[in-house]
Chains A and B, each alone.
Chain A
């Protein structure tokens, strides 16, 4: 094999490698989501199922703080209680209230976030307003429940956690994208 051929073989290999790495950049997105899902960091928009017979650990208390944020839409959004104490394994329901202050109909999507982050792995939400978009008519007020269980797998040194939601306006592409994402998962 002469040099020119040898060179073009190397070049082809490297070009293929380049393309693979470019694709890898994009593959990092689902990969990242997968990691978050496996570690439970990001299991956001779907209902969880509970183990058959969850054991309630009455020897432990976990303080759950509730938080609400809105970003860029004319709503008011707050939990009806700021915090509560629960036992791991216990099924609890909390209420959030949202109000549309504007005179137009608005689609909103709530995105949850947890602190400490590892809570995500141990929080099972059976019902949540974040599973679907919320459409609020002008000046409509709505109370929405969240039903969840904090699994007893939560490390014992964690006894205070925060569940936070941020409402974003769903408009155009955001809406379409999220709907497909939710459907896939």
Chain B
């Protein structure tokens, strides 16, 4: 019985973390898109490259969080 409760608790925790990861991942992906779009509004080459690199870093982190959340839930 205890083992069953423990498993149920573990499942609930995993599910909750999955939902949290998905929310955070989508949020970060949204900002990655904004930073990538703003490349077109940047005048200097260095500025464009900075936005590109930063946007890609955000995108990778956001996508990893969303994918992980699917695996958990």
**Binding partners A and B:** no
